[in-house]
Structure 1
Amino acid sequence: MTSPRTRLAAALSLPALALAALTACGDDDGDPKPAGGTATEGTAEPSGSGEPSEPASETPEAATVPVYFVGDTPQGPRLYREFRQVESDDPALAALALMTSGDALDPDYDTLYPGGSFASVEIGDDMITVGLPDESWTTAPEGMSEAEARLAAQQMVYTLQGVAQERLPVSITLDGAPADLFGLAGEVGNDPEIDVRALVNITTPAEGATVSGTFTADGVSSSFEATTPWEIRKGGADGKVVAKGFATAEGWMDKLYPWQTDVDVSDLAPGDYTFVALTDDPSGGEGGGPMVDTKSITVQ
């Protein structure tokens, strides 16, 4: 079986998946709450305010931060988000360490970074400045395409903007001097999320969650007529559908919007299942099929 990173590299090599310019700016998304965290999530997406609704929540010991990984979709590799708890002394650098290592809870997620991590992060009033670990990151590693480099940059930008709570540009440095990341421009911004993010992303339940009775599922999506179907499958992501329904998001088309729904599992036998959220696909699969996010869950 090929690794997620191998599949991502193969898909990204297709010319049709070339991404938009790094300096483009887009709207942000909101989520009801971070999975397993204590942050209070915004329920509306700011338009033009430059402030993402994905706060990094801090306690004396830990901070809950958004970390962006890369996963497969029928339309090519895209960004998926997990909320993670990290030590609060330097949450931005800790979030980047998770991102570059590909240390995702969801086994379907991976990273495009070659290993290692950034050396430093400074979040200022109008700029985020990151330090490269060494000169090797100024050019793309062997085998990394320009499309891969651009998506890797978007992993970093979205993660840092989520921690900072502002859509600030990111300046790349090496030993304090301006530098390029993987051969790209030394200052990068966020591409529109509709172009680089998966169009459905589950926030709750988190990967490996235990549920019972009726639980609340939530996330973000941009799905036809704001309809976000969900299913529970027995026997893995390709298993038999044993329950299904749909959530209605707050909007669609121009960006990702929050969705939330109650899921009743009281009639299911205790055991391991997969919770699946999808984009609605009125084409019947002619467009490549729906985008999907899955989470392994245990029903008590």
Structure 2
Amino acid sequence: MFAKNPAPARRLGASVDALSRQDRVLSRMRLVDKFAILGLSASLALIGCTSQGLNQQSTSMPTSNSSMAQGMVTNAPLETATASQTVPVYWLGSSNDDVFLYREFFPAQTSDDPIVAALRVMMGGDSLDPDYFSIWNNPTRLGASISAKNVITVDISADAFGGKVDQGIAERSISQLVYTATAAAAMAGLVDTTSSIQVSVLVDGHTGYNAFSHVVLDKPLTRDADFIAPVWIIDPANGSRFNSLPLKVAGQAISPTGNLAWSLAHVVGDTVGEQYLSGTVTIPQGPRELGEFSFNLVPPPGEYQLSVYIQDTGAPGGKIGLDTKLVTIAEPSAK
């Protein structure tokens, strides 16, 4: 992806076939569309998509999915409570031939409760990373409540459902709402994160709405682990500028081998140029386990594209689950 915590809440029915599905996906990893990988990894997509500027790429999914990354994650961890005055927002983002969910943090700038504040950014704001997008419209009415049974109810007006999209993007957009609402509630300490959290979506006060003409909202929803990004750079944020080193890189990922590859390439204007550094990093949780990774870099001043991905050993140069961030290393501040 051009460009990403943790009481598990598994999607309904996931426990029945999670392991067998994961094995099937991993066994197909050599079948990744190599032309799509190479084309994506050579680009620097600096223009994002919003509900006011939809294009074909942001409104539709491939007719068939050949990405080994899809389906690797079988556990959708919740965020933990924090005292920071920020709200978590999930966005859609492309990686290889699939679309996954990635999270960013925004300052809490309104008096709304945390769930409403996060959803307002998701539906009416812009992502920090221009490679992320959302197909929601800013609703005229939005409210949220939490029951004693750990059910979040979100009530939105019908004008939140924007342009025409296919079923794949519709399902991911509803999941985007579920992830954002549950993340905001968990971080604010409003829900019991030791048990499953459900989200009931009402439209103009009623259940059963056919969202984006593809998803009927007739029952409570939980996080769908299929939509978690397989590789996700959490820090640094896209566009970050640093006056001191080291550059600390951290993220979340899953890999068949428990290892990831990274690279740092020079950026000149809008063009990704020569690779300056590269290496590997281990996910401490091991192979096939979603976990956190981190490493430090000490590059000279300049503009860079940071990339983290799963190496496709069956295709030299192939990058699976690619996530990228643009960063600037400034000259050290004079003392």
Q: Give how far 1:28 is off.
A: 2.9
Whether the 8 Å contact between 2:208 and 2:216 is mirrored in structure 1 is: no
C-alpha distance in structure 2 between counterparts of 1:10 and 1:160, whole Å: 22
Q: Give ranges in structure 1 of 5+ residues lacking alignment.
A: 19-24, 30-51
Whether the 8 Å contact between 2:136 and 2:162 is mirrored in structure 1 is: no
Aligned partner letter, 1:276: S
Higher mean displacement: 171-180 or 202-211: 171-180
Whether the 8 Å contact between 1:224 and 1:280 is mirrored in structure 2 is: no
Indicate the residue corresponding to 1:284 in structure 2.
Answer: 315
Aligned partner letter, 2:165: M
Indicate the residue corresponding to 2:292 in structure 1.
Answer: 258
Indicate the residue corresponding to 1:173 in structure 2.
Answer: 202
Indicate the residue corresponding to 1:246 in structure 2.
Answer: 280
Query: Secondary structure of 1:239's match?
Result: strand
Q: 1:71 aligns with which of 84, 88, 93?
A: 93
Task: State whether structure 2 residue 251 is matched by structure 1 residue 228.
Answer: no
Q: Give how far 1:261 is off.
A: 1.0
Q: Give how far 1:64 is off.
A: 2.2
Question: Which string of whole-angstrom CA distances, capped at 9 and with x for unpartnered residues, describes residues 146-200 of structure 1?
Answer: 22211101101111111222441110123443243504233222112xx212211
C-alpha distance in structure 2 between counterparts of 1:101 and 1:76, whole Å: 24
Indicate the residue corresponding to 1:153 in structure 2.
Answer: 174
Q: 2:324 aligns with which of 278, 294, 297?
A: 294
Q: Give how far 1:74 is off.
A: 0.9
Question: Which string of whole-angstrom CA distances, capped at 9 and with x for unpartnered residues, describes residues 8-36 of structure 1?
Answer: 34641x33249xxxxxx95234xxxxxxx
Indicate the residue corresponding to 1:121 in structure 2.
Answer: 144
Higher mean displacement: 162-171 or 110-119: 110-119
Task: State whether structure 2 residue 233 is matched by structure 1 residue 202.
Answer: yes
Question: Which string of whole-angstrom CA distances, capped at 9 and with x for unpartnered residues, describes residues 62-103 of structure 1?
Answer: x22321101111131111111222237422111111212351
C-alpha distance in structure 2 between counterparts of 1:141 and 1:9, whole Å: 12
Q: 1:189 aligns with which of 213, 218, 222?
A: 222
Question: 1:282/1:229 Cα in 2 relative to 1: closer, same or farther (>3 Å)?
Answer: same
Whether the 8 Å contact between 1:65 and 1:95 is mirrored in structure 2 is: yes
Runs of 4+ in structure 1 deviating by more than 4 angstroms, as ranges, are 252-255
C-alpha distance in structure 1 between counterparts of 2:86 and 2:258, whole Å: 28
Whether the 8 Å contact between 1:69 and 1:102 is mirrored in structure 2 is: no
Aligned partner letter, 1:173: L
Higher mean displacement: 101-110 or 169-178: 169-178
Q: Give how far 1:246 is off.
A: 2.0
Q: Give how far 1:252 is off.
A: 5.6
Q: Give how far 1:271 is off.
A: 2.1
Which of 1 and 2 has greater Rg?
2
Aligned partner letter, 2:252: V
Q: Give ranges in structure 2 of 5+ residues lacking alignment.
A: 1-44, 67-72, 187-192, 331-335
Indicate the residue corresponding to 1:86 in structure 2.
Answer: 108
Indicate the residue corresponding to 2:80 in structure 1.
Answer: 55
Indicate the residue corresponding to 1:214 in structure 2.
Answer: 246
Aligned partner letter, 2:277: A
Q: Give how far 1:221 is off.
A: 0.6
Whether the 8 Å contact between 2:207 and 2:217 is mirrored in structure 1 is: no
Q: Give how far 1:131 is off.
A: 0.5
Count of residue correspondences: 258
Whether the 8 Å contact between 1:11 and 1:77 is mirrored in structure 2 is: no
Question: 1:247/1:92 Cα in 2 relative to 1: closer, same or farther (>3 Å)?
Answer: same
Q: 2:154 aligns with which of 130, 142, 162?
A: 130
Identity %: 25
